[in-house]
Structure 1
Amino acid sequence: MKNYHPKLNRLQEVIVTGLLGDLPAIALGPNLRKLVYRSILAHVGKSIYIQKGVELLGACNIELGNGVHLFKGVRIDALGHQNNKITLEEGVAVERNVDIGALDNTQIYIERGTFIGIGTCIAGPGNVKIGKRCLIAAHSGIFANNHTYTDPLKYIADQEVTCEGITIEDDCWLGHAVTVTDGVTIGKGSVIGAGAVVTKDIPPYSIAVGTPARVIKTRLPEESINPQDLKIMAANSN
């Protein structure tokens, strides 16, 4: 991570992105951004591609691995805390108009080869980890925070915000407009149907649909399933 000097870092990234951020998506623009953005980002790998109109905030807390692709309208915001960190590993592709926001003291980690579809939102302040080779379809929401509303005499905005964090393990496929709520783990190899709202843990290699999401079947032979996972499947299917 680069030295953390909030005002100086922010001034530097405003100048760099202001000059280069909207250069056309021909060879000149992406190549200049790939070269010059190294001065503001915490880490930049080889062969990255940053299209015009990408917004980077708190760039000194953002790491881009080899072959990362950021398309038009992507917004990555790591401002707010010295310990914020957003990491996109090798081969991560982030489609148009995706919003990734860390808020305070937040780690967002997207592992190798994962695809994030158009218009998706990923937000802290809870930590978010998305595993390898996941497919996150368009307009999904991954929200690692939750407002409490137990006191009807107070505005909800003035009550506590919880942030337990979210884990999506390797090789998961989230269909169009899936919502994942705070505190959830989606097990490896799971498929979540379009429009589902995931409010409970999903065991590995499950297929889950609905609002709230419930497990309707497994991708594995029953004899190979962990007994504890069978209990979670049974609870989620009710």
Structure 2
Amino acid sequence: MNTDAPSSKLKNVMQGKGGAAAKYFALTYGEMPLWKAVLMEITVILFSGASGSWGLFLRSILYRPFFGKFGKGVVIGKNVVFRHPGKIKLGDGVTVDDNAMVDAKGSVNKGVSLGAGVYIGRNSIVYCKEGNIELEEGVNISSNCVVFSSNDLKIGAETMIGAYTYILSGGEYDHQSPLPFARQTGMETRGPLSIGADCWLGARVTVLDGANIGNRCVLGAGTVVTKPIPELSLAVGVPAKVVGSVLPAEKNEEAEAAQV
């Protein structure tokens, strides 16, 4: 195992040389120029906890210069944490609810991209360890979810993710290695993870590394996905088992038209 991987270096930031402030700024702001990081730090201290519509308005204006992209109509709730914001792209109409975290940390990755109209629920965490995350237009992440990537993770447009769901792309450890797990990089991966468009994942679903999900699938509450699921599937259980099918979107439109 390569212990010199970029993620290992990031992990060692907090254990390496330098003062507490230098370590904090490296962890939180990455390669952002120091003057800009200090300015954002002051902005966050003053306005991240501001309540009501006034707080939402101030954050939508004052946070804008610090991001890789900050679209129109972005809504940032109270006490939201952003790490490596220069590698975070927020499309038009993105909403990040109270106490959520979006973390794009890495030294060579592209970071996190949230398409137009994406919603990140309260207390949810979307974070990278040298990986990339792309949430396409209209993706809805409910409260208390964890979305992690040390590879490439993509969730297709208009997909709904139920509360307390855990989605993992990479982040595995080598149980055959003599190196203690806490000292490993956690970069073992089965490859990129893709969840298709127009899917519905119920509450407390777990999607493990490499378990790709096709378009327009439905996963019942508590399902644990360990292997790929084909499109238009209804799956439940631990591990997930396909028990039925889902109508294609165009068939639903035809059925609705017939009832009119």
Aligned equivalents of 2:183, 2:61: Cα separation in 1: 44
Aligned equivalents of 1:28, 1:189: Cα separation in 2: 39
Aligned mate of 1:134, from 159, 164, 169 = 159
| CA positional deviation for 1:165 | 2.5
**Number of residues of Structure 1 aligned to a counterpart in Structure 2:** 215
| CA positional deviation for 1:131 | 0.5
Structure 2 residue 132 is the aligned partner of structure 1 residue 93: no
6-15 or 207-216: bigger deviation: 6-15
Structure 2 residue 193 is the aligned partner of structure 1 residue 166: yes
Aligned mate of 1:109, from 128, 134, 137 = 134
12-21 or 27-36: bigger deviation: 12-21
- Tell whether the 8 Å contact from 2:103 to 2:127 is kept in structure 1 after alignment: yes
CA RMSD between the two structures: 1.8
Report % sequence identity: 33
In the superposition, relative to structure 1, how do residues 127 and 66 fare at CA in structure 2: closer, same or farther (>3 Å)?
same
State the SS of the aligned residue for 1:123.
strand
Structure 2 residue 237 is the aligned partner of structure 1 residue 210: yes
Aligned mate of 1:143, from 159, 163, 168 = 168
| CA positional deviation for 1:122 | 0.5
What's 1:28 paired with? 54
| CA positional deviation for 1:82 | 4.5
Residues 123-161 of structure 1, C-alpha deviations (whole Å, 9 max, x = no match): 11121100000000000000112222124x543334564
Aligned equivalents of 1:133, 1:81: Cα separation in 2: 30
Higher share of residues assigned helix: 2
Residue ranges of structure 2 left out of the alignment (5+ in a row): 1-29, 249-260
Structure 2 residue 88 is the aligned partner of structure 1 residue 66: no
Aligned equivalents of 1:82, 1:6: Cα separation in 2: 14
Structure 2 length-normalised TM:
0.78
- Tell whether the 8 Å contact from 2:133 to 2:154 is kept in structure 1 after alignment: yes
Amino acid at match of 2:113: T
Residues 29-53 of structure 1, C-alpha deviations (whole Å, 9 max, x = no match): 1111111111101111111111111
Aligned mate of 1:42, from 68, 73, 93 = 68
- Tell whether the 8 Å contact from 2:142 to 2:161 is kept in structure 1 after alignment: yes
Aligned equivalents of 1:89, 1:205: Cα separation in 2: 23
Amino acid at match of 2:59: R
Residue ranges of structure 1 left out of the alignment (5+ in a row): 222-238
Amino acid at match of 2:134: Y
Structure 1 length-normalised TM:
0.85
Aligned mate of 2:217, from 170, 190, 210 = 190
State the SS of the aligned residue for 2:63.
helix
What's 1:176 paired with? 203
State the SS of the aligned residue for 1:53.
coil
Aligned equivalents of 2:37, 2:77: Cα separation in 1: 21
Residues 42-88 of structure 1, C-alpha deviations (whole Å, 9 max, x = no match): 11111111111111111111011111111101101112324331011
Structure 2 residue 38 is the aligned partner of structure 1 residue 15: no
